[in-house]
Amino acid sequence: MSNRKLIRPSLAEHKDQVVTRPPRKKPSPHGQTNAENFYYLKQIQNGTPMVMVLQDGEEIRGIIDWYDRNSIRIKRQSDPHVMVLKHFIKYMYKENEDKEKESDNEYGASLS
């Protein structure tokens, strides 16, 4: 082996040339804002009675007990608890909103 000297440029020379960029905020995955998760957690913590209207028109009333990416578990008072797959839910609302609509109708207010 021969003695070879490694020629390496000084690090100080390259520090001036490197442009520092501010760190980017990682964007959320497409279609996921965590608003749905926040809504479910809020309803679970408050114990809000909910109404879920399924694709076939059936209504399920109860309190959200648990949820994950694909399903929601509903606690019902007189009936057994039920787990509903999210893709079968057409829409959902708070049960007290249903009563407010009925009371508005009694006094002649329109639904729209």
Q: Cα 58 to chain center, whole Å?
A: 24
Whole-model pTM: value is 0.60
Predicted confidence (pLDDT) per residue in 58-70, tens digit? 999 999 999 999 9
Predicted confidence (pLDDT) per residue in 18-40, tens digit? 667 777 877 766 767 788 889 99
Domains by residue range for the chain, with CATH:
34-106 (2.30.30.100)
